[in-house]
Amino acid sequence: MKIRMLLLLLLLLLFYLISCKSNNTIIQKGKIKDISNIELKKPLLLQKIIKYKNYYISKDKIQKKIVLINKNGTIIKEYGNTGKGPGQFSDSFYPIDVYKGILYIHDLSSQKIIKLKLIAEKPFIKYLDEFHLNEGSSYKADVKKGKIYISYITGKYQLYVYNSKGTILEKHFRMKERNPFKNKDVLKKYVNGYYSLNDNYLLKAGRMSGNLTFYKKENNKYKVIKKTNLSLPEDVIKRKKKPGSYNIKGIVYVENKEGRYFVIPNPGEKRVKIYVLNETGDIVGVYKNPTSNYHISSLSYLNNGKVSFQVYTNKKKVNANIIKVGELNNKRF
Phi/psi of residue 231, each to 5°?
-95, 70
304 C-beta neighbours (distance < 10 Å), count: 9
- The band of 134, judged by pLDDT with boundaries at 50, 70 and 90, is very high
Give the per-residue pLDDT at 45: 83
What is the secondary structure of 244-288 as a DSSP string?
T-----S-EEEEETTEEEEEEE--SSS--EEEEEETTS-EEEEEE
Rounded Cα distance, 323 and 38, in Å: 5
What domains are there in the chain, each with its CATH number? 32-329 (2.120.10.30)
Asked if the model's pLDDT at residue 149 lies above 90, the reply is: yes
64 C-beta neighbours (distance < 10 Å), count: 15
Please provide the average confidence, as pLDDT, over all residues in the chain: 75
Q: Is the pTM of this model over 0.75?
A: yes
309 C-beta neighbours (distance < 10 Å), count: 25
- The band of 37, judged by pLDDT with boundaries at 50, 70 and 90, is confident
Give the per-residue pLDDT at 287: 77
Which of 101-105, 131-135, 199-203 shows the lowest mean pLDDT across its residues?
Answer: 199-203
168 C-beta neighbours (distance < 10 Å), count: 13
Rounded Cα distance, 104 and 190, in Å: 24
| Coil, helix or strand at residue 181 | helix
Give the per-residue pLDDT at 236: 52
What is the secondary structure of 124-160 as a DSSP string?
EEEEEEEEE--SS-EEEEEEETTEEEEEESSSSEEEE
Residue predicted with more confidence, 72 or 163: 163
pLDDT digits 0-9 by tens, 172-192: 988 876 665 555 555 556 567
Residues in the chain: 333
- The band of 193, judged by pLDDT with boundaries at 50, 70 and 90, is confident
